[in-house]
Chains A and B, each alone.
Chain A
C-alpha cells in the first residue's frame, strides 16, 4: 500500500470514528498531500528520508505547532496558535513525517482518563463486555486512541507521571517514555518541568523505536537536554562488554518489585504479569524479586511535586499577551485588582484549578518544609531504590550508591496500571462517586520511573480468560523499566512481550 493510500485511510478514520481523539484533525486536503506523494516517490526510488518518511504522526495538543492550534485542552488557550514549532515537530518533519493533527488530552496533561478537556472526554476505541464506553487513560488519551483506531501511523504524547504509558495500557498500544533529558522539551508546554518527557505511542515497539532514534538528539534550546558529551559517555558505558552482552549473549536478570504486588491489583492484571514473567523465564531469563521500599510514598510525593511545579508554570496564563480573555472588564470593578482574575477563573478547568491550589499551598512558606521539601526527599529515595537494584550504574549519579548486597538486575517488569480501563461513565458521571484521588491511584506504577527519570515502556499482552467466553481475552499493559540511559534495552524487552497471548 502506498503511503498516500495509507494516509487517506488514516484521515478517513479520523473523520469516521467519534472517539473525540482530535481537537484539530488534519484537513482532508492540504499541502501535506504533496509531501506524502513526494515521500512515496522517494520510497519507490529506494531513498526514503527515514523510516517514517511520509508517515502521519499525531501530536498531543500540548506540543507546539506553528501550522495548527495548540490548545492544551484548555479554555485559556482554546484559540491559541504557537508562533513556533517544538523541536520534536521540526525533527519529525525533517525526517519526512507529516503532523496528523492535534490530539485531545487532559487539560495541560493533568488527568488519568483524558476526561479533563475543554473539548470533551476522549473515548477508548475498545468497549467492555457489556458495550460500555471505557476510559482511554490519560493524559495522552487522544494520541493513544488515534493509534489504536487507525487514525495515524504513530503519535507523540507527553509523560509526566505515566501519561503515555497508562493510555497505552488502556488502549492496547505500545507507549514509551524515554529517559528524562534525551528528547527535547523545547515547545512542549510545561506541566511539571522536572518530570515532563515526550513519549511515543505506536502499534509496535519497532515503530516507537524508529521515532525515538530520530528524536534522541541534543537540543541547545532545552536547558535540560543532555549534552552531546554526556550522551556519548553513556553510550560508551553501555558498550562495555558486561552491559553490551545483555540479551545478546547472556540472559537477562529480570527484577520483580515486590512492593508492586498491591491489594488493589485486579486478578486479570496480576495474571497478565505472572504469565509475562513465566514467558520470559521460558525464554531463558531469570526472575528475581527485588525491593523498592520508597515506592509506597512515591505517589504522594508525585502529587506534591507535580502540582507545585504546575502552579508555578501555569501562572503565565493571564490572557494579557496571548490566550483567551473573558468578555468585559476583568477586575471585579476594583481599580487596584488584577487584570486577569476572571480570565484565569473561567479559562481553567476544575482539575487544573485543584492542582494549582494544591501546588500553591505546598509551596507556601508555612507548608514548604512539610510538603515540597519532604516530597523532594522521597524523590531522592525513589531514585536510590532503583540505583540499588540495577546492575548498571546510573550514569549521572554524582556519588555511586552503596549497594546493600541486594540482587542486581538488568530490567524491571511490572504492570503499567493496577486494573483494566474503567468505564468512562464511572470516572465522569456526576453520580459516579469517584473522587479525584481515585484517578490518582491509576498512576501508582508509572510514577516511580517518572520521579527517577528512568526509561519505561508499556506493551500490551493478552490473557485468555478461562472463566470468560470472550474470545478477545483481556488486554493488559505490562511495563518494562530500565536504568537511566538504558532506553534501547527497555524497548528490546518490551518487544519480547509485545502482543503476546497467554
Chain B
C-alpha cells in the first residue's frame, strides 16, 4: 500500500472535522450526494430530500441497535483498557544531537552523525528538550523523579538507524500521575460525571525515521524525524468503555497542547496511541493476568498505532467484540499485537506471542543518569499555563459560554482561537464599561457565536487555515458592537464579515458608512404594509398558522418581508412582531 496519502490536503481536511464538529456536513450526507446516478436511473424516483431523510433514519436505527447490543455485552463482560500515547515534543533540537527538529524540510537535511548512527559518534543529551517533557508530566500531576536513566530498546527495522531506540524503560523521569475526565470530555454515560485515570509513567524517548514504501522494491527513508524527542505516556488499565478511552486520548492531547508540550496533534501525526484491551466475564473469578500492576484481568492484546480519536474508539469496540466472540465460542484470547485500519470493522493480527519481539532492554552505557533538580521542577510548576479544565471553568463562569462553545474554543488551532476570542471580548467590554453585568455577559456569549460559528463557517467554506489577521479582532468587535446597538441588522453584519474575510480592509464604521449599510429603521406603517402584502398573497398559509397552530410558518413570512422590503432595513424581530399582531391578533 502506498503510504503518502495521509499527508494530502483532502484527508487533512477530513480529519479536521473531528475538531470542528459544529459546521461540517455529516459525512453520510456527503457520500450519498456523490452517488446520485444510481437513484436517478431507478424506476421509482425518490426525491433527494426524502432519500436523505430515509438514510438518516436507518442510520439512527442502526446506531440504536448497536447501542443496544453494546449495552448487552457490557452487562455481561467487563472491558479493561490501558492507553499508551507517543507525543512529539515541542523542542527545537533532537533528543541527542544539536540537529534541528523539522517536519517539512528537505528530506535528510536535518541529521547529525549520531542521528544516523555513524560509527564512533556519541549521544549528546539536549537539556532543553526536557522542558516540554517536564511541562507535560507536571500538567499530568506526575512525580518528577530526581534521577532517571536511559535504556536501549532493541529491534531491527530500517527506520531505526542504530538498531535500538533510546528510551527510559527501567527508570522513567515521571511516575504516578493522573488525568481527570469529565462528562463534557465525552466519557461514557456509565462513567458518571467524572472519572480519574491514573498515569503509570511518562518517559523520554526517540522518534524513528519516516519510511515510505513503494512496492515491490523501493523504500524511501527520511531521517529528519529520527531522534525527534518524544514522550510516552502510559495510563493504568483503568478504562472500561471505548468512549472513555477515546475521551482520555483527546483529553491528554488537549492538556499537552495547552501546556505547550507538543506542537501538533493526532491529525498531523504528532500524537499516536496504542491501546491494551482485555475482557473478563462479570461475576467470574478474577482473571489470571496482570499488567502495569493491575491484576485480575483477562489476557490482553495490544492494538498499535492508532492515529485518530475515532480510531481509538472503533478499534477498541471491534477488539472487545472479537475477544468476546472468541471466548464465547470456547476459544482462548492470545496475547498478541494487532493493527487497525481506518474505516475497518475488525482489528488484524500483526504478530503473536511466538513472534513477539524481545527488546533486550539495556542501560545505555554512553548516557549518564538524568538528574532533575527541585528548583527546575518548581519553576516549571509555577509557570505552567492554564490547563483546559480551568479554562473551561473560566469560559463558562466568566464568559457565560456553553460547554459546547467553550470546548472547541479551547481546542481549536492550538489555543490561537481562544486568544483571538479573548481579544474580541476585551475590546467589546472596553466599549461597554458603562453597562451592567448582564449586558457584559451577553457580549461574551455573542462574541463566542461570531468567533466560532460565523467566522468559523467562513474558514471552513473557504478551506483556509486559522489566521487571526484575516478578520482583525478590532473589526469583529466593531461589527458586533454595531449589531448590539442595533445600528445594523444581523444579515448585514454577516455580509460585512464576509467582505472583511475576503479582504476589505476599511475600518468597520467607514465601511458601513460608505456602503450605506447603517440601519435606517422602517416605520411601523412600512412594516404593516410589507406584512399585509405578504399575507394577502398567501391566505392558505395564514389559515394553517391560525387553525393548525403551525407557528413555525411565521418565519417563512418574516423571510418574505425581508425579501420584498428594502435590503438591510427589515429587522426580523420587528417583522415577526407585526406579523403576530396581524395573523394571531397578539
A312 to chain B, nearest CB (A): 6
A70 (CB) vs chain B CBs: closest residue: B119
Q: Is B124 an interface residue (CB 8 A)?
A: yes
Per DSSP, chain A at the interface is loop
CB-CB under 8 A from A338, the residues of chain B are 156-158
> Are B365 and A193 in contact, with the CB atoms below 8 A?
yes
B125 (CB) vs chain A CBs: closest residue: A223
> Are B157 and A72 in contact, with the CB atoms below 8 A?
no
B337 to chain A, nearest CB (A): 14
In the complex, which residues 196-219 of chain A have their Cβ closer than 8 Å to any Cβ of chain B? none
> Are B119 and A364 in contact, with the CB atoms below 8 A?
no
In the complex, which residues 389-410 of chain B have their Cβ closer than 8 Å to any Cβ of chain A? none
Name the segment of B160-168, B524-532, B569-577 touching the other chain: B160-168
Q: Is A188 an interface residue (CB 8 A)?
A: yes
In the complex, which residues 302-360 of chain A have their Cβ closer than 8 Å to any Cβ of chain B? 308-309, 311-312, 314-316, 318, 320-322, 329, 335, 338-340, 360
A192 (CB) vs chain B CBs: closest residue: B365
Known contacts A223-B125, A315-B154, A338-B157; A187/B360 CB under 8 A: no
Name the segment of B34-42, B110-118, B281-289 touching the other chain: B110-118
> Are B158 and A318 in contact, with the CB atoms below 8 A?
yes
Provide the bound-state CA to CA distance between A329 and B217, in Å: 9
Q: Is A186 an interface residue (CB 8 A)?
A: yes
In the complex, which residues 177-202 of chain A have their Cβ closer than 8 Å to any Cβ of chain B? 185-190, 192-194
> Are A322 and B367 in contact, with the CB atoms below 8 A?
no
Q: Is B300 an interface residue (CB 8 A)?
A: no
A93 to chain B, nearest CB (A): 16
Provide the bound-state CA to CA distance between A116 and B164, in Å: 26
> Are A83 and B152 in contact, with the CB atoms below 8 A?
no
> Are B163 and A316 in contact, with the CB atoms below 8 A?
yes
> Are B120 and A320 in contact, with the CB atoms below 8 A?
no
Provide the bound-state CA to CA distance between A220 and B366, in Å: 13
B27 to chain A, nearest CB (A): 34
CB-CB under 8 A from B217, the residues of chain A are 329
Interface bin, chain A: 35 or more
> Are A82 and B158 in contact, with the CB atoms below 8 A?
no
Per DSSP, chain B at the interface is loop
CB-CB under 8 A from B219, the residues of chain A are 339
Provide the bound-state CA to CA distance between A450 and B122, in Å: 20
> Are A312 and B366 in contact, with the CB atoms below 8 A?
no
Known contacts A309-B362, A315-B164, A335-B215; A322/B122 CB under 8 A: no
B453 to chain A, nearest CB (A): 49
CB-CB under 8 A from A64, the residues of chain B are 119-120
B159 (CB) vs chain A CBs: closest residue: A320
CB-CB under 8 A from B360, the residues of chain A are 311-312, 360, 363-365, 368
CB-CB under 8 A from B162, the residues of chain A are 315-316
Provide the bound-state CA to CA distance between A192 and B362, in Å: 12
Known contacts A82-B118, A190-B120, A223-B366; A312/B163 CB under 8 A: yes
Q: Is B385 an interface residue (CB 8 A)?
A: no
CB-CB under 8 A from B164, the residues of chain A are 312, 315
14 contacts between A and B (CB under 8 A): A84-B113, A188-B120, A223-B123, A223-B125, A224-B365, A224-B366, A311-B360, A312-B362, A314-B163, A315-B156, A316-B163, A321-B161, A338-B156, A364-B358
Question: B-contacting residues of A (Cβ < 8 Å)?
Answer: 63-64, 70, 72, 77, 80, 82-84, 86, 185-190, 192-194, 220-224, 308-309, 311-312, 314-316, 318, 320-322, 329, 335, 338-340, 360, 363-365, 368, 372
Question: A-contacting residues of B (Cβ < 8 Å)?
Answer: 113, 116-125, 152, 154, 156-158, 161-164, 215-217, 219, 221, 358, 360-362, 365-368
